[in-house]
Amino acid sequence: MNRKAFSPLLIALSLWSGLASCSSETGEVDPYENWEARNVAFIDSIAKVAANPAPGERWEKHLNYKIKSENLTDDLSLSNSDYVYLKILKEGLPDGISPMATDTAVVAYKGLLINKTVFDGSYDNNFMDDFTQATYRTALSAVINGWTTALLHMREGERVELYIPANLGYGTTAKETIPANSTLCFELYLDKVVHPKGPDDRSLTEVMEEE
């Protein structure tokens, strides 16, 4: 992985993975000790970084798209776990479009837990400069809320570090190698937006310009 990528992630991962305790029976470190509390603390630390970025860094914070689309904010007490956090590693193309929730996105990605475990990805552990060689195609409606929320605010050609709190990921349900209550950390690249054929075959950017 590129040394410049995931800089705040590596710092936070080192901090929170260091809080794992040893098993009293074996003396070995349990990487999932106090897992829920550690993941909540991790997202709180990322929220602070996003609110006070280092010089030269640009961060974005976006509310869960389901809450925003249903205009529920006045009825809810929001927390850091209701948002996704994006560190912009590479700006999108000037003419790059953003997807709508009904679109399909062609992306490249890698996902990690806060204890540095890589749980999924379209490329191996080595950082890639040419992400187009390792793309994955998915409908925005078929992924977790955190991914949909982030992709709605990205443009083609954009690459980000994405931090998704557990409740916008898989919540209290374990998913294959992902334990319950896991914050999900991604490097995510949006290569292309694919629109369905028909009267709604247009980009989010075009819709916003018309309004």
Question: Where is pLDDT greater, at 29 or 169?
Answer: 169
Specify the CATH class of 7-210 in words: alpha beta
Map out the domains of the chain as residue ranges: 7-210
Q: How far apart are CA 38 and CA 5, in angstroms?
A: 22
Q: Which of 103, 106, 96, 107 is nearest to 195 (CA)?
A: 103
Are 57 and 160 in contact by the 8 Å Cβ rule? The answer is no
Contacts for 112 with CB less than 8 Å, ≥ 6 apart: 6, 9, 13, 118, 119, 184, 185, 186
pTM: 0.81
> For residue 80, what are its two tokens?
């850091």
User: What is the structure's pLDDT at 7?
Assistant: 52
pLDDT, tens digit (0-9, with 9 covering 90-100), for 147-178: 999 999 999 999 999 999 999 999 999 999 99
pLDDT of 66 > 60? The answer is: yes
